[in-house]
């Protein structure tokens, strides 16, 4: 094994230890300690074997990790990182099926740019998006960070279902896009 391969393996092992605490994504630059240009095999080495591989629209494929994380690839290019706060999802979010997927230890926490965390109040999430181009409605928000779209889904504090008017909301799903202008 060459020195550069040994260094890569050690970096991945050390990175996987930090994955257990929180999954860190930095829009435009870093996904769990790997560059967004890393291959599906690199992510498999970091996160372990996917729970399932799902065929998606346009020839894309999703590597589903437990019931909280999916990496979406077009060929060998990472296009999206999707995550969900699952424990109380209901069918009206069309994600109730995730409750039937076994959880994976170490994939519960998710943080974007050190500021956006699943489960945080909507008001705090919107503060993190201040000054960015984007829009929002009663159940979601979209912003452009580093030239890439970031989508946030909000739900009820109690059930994670769509909230009724005036009911407090928390961040229950988050999608970070990479290379959005390429390979469409």
CATH number for the domain spanning 96: value is 2.60.460
Domain assignment of residue 130, yes or no: yes
Residues of the chain with pLDDT under 70: 1-21, 87-97, 99, 159-164, 180-184
pLDDT of 27: 80
- At residue 90, the pLDDT reads 61
Q: Would 25 be classed as within a structural domain?
A: yes
- pLDDT 10s digits, 112-163: 998 899 989 999 999 988 888 988 888 889 999 888 899 998 887 776 566 6
Residue 12's pLDDT is what? 47
The whole-number pLDDT of residue 107 equals: 74
Tell me what pLDDT residue 43 has: 92
Contact yes or no for 17/10 (Cβ under 8 A): no
Helix ranges (DSSP H) in 20-105: 40-47
Residue 43 lies in a domain: yes
Domain range enclosing 120: 3-177
Quote the pLDDT of residue 163: 62
How many domains in the chain? 1
pLDDT at 147: 86
In a domain, residue 184? The reply is: no
Q: What is the pTM of this model?
A: 0.78
Q: Is residue 183, in this structure, part of any structural domain at all?
A: no
Q: Which of 103, 67, 96, 89 is nearest to 154 (CA)?
A: 89
The reported pLDDT for the residue numbered 110 is: 84
CA dihedral of 90, 161, 84, 132, whole degrees rounded to 10: 160
């Amino acid at each position: 094994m060459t020195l550069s391969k040994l260094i890569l393996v050690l970096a991945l092992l050390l990175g996987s230890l930090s994955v257990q605490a929180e999954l860190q994504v930095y829009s435009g630059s870093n996904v769990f300690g790997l560059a967004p240009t890393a291959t599906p095999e690199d992510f498999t080495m970091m996160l372990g074997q996917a729970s399932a591989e799902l065929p998606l629209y346009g020839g894309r494929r999703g590597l589903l990790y437990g019931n909280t994380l999916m990496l979406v690839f077009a060929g060998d290019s990472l296009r999206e990182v999707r995550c969900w706060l699952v424990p109380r999802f209901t069918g009206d979010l069309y994600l109730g099926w995730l409750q039937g997927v076994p959880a994976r230890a170490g994939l519960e926490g998710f943080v974007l740019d050190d500021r956006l965390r699943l489960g945080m109040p909507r008001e705090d999430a919107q503060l993190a998006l201040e000054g960015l181009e984007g829009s929002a409605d009663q159940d979601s928000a979209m912003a452009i960070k580093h030239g890439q779209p970031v989508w946030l889904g909000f739900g009820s504090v109690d059930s994670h279902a769509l909230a009724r008017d005036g009911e407090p909301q928390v961040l229950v799903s988050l999608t970070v896009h990479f290379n959005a202008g390429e390979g469409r």
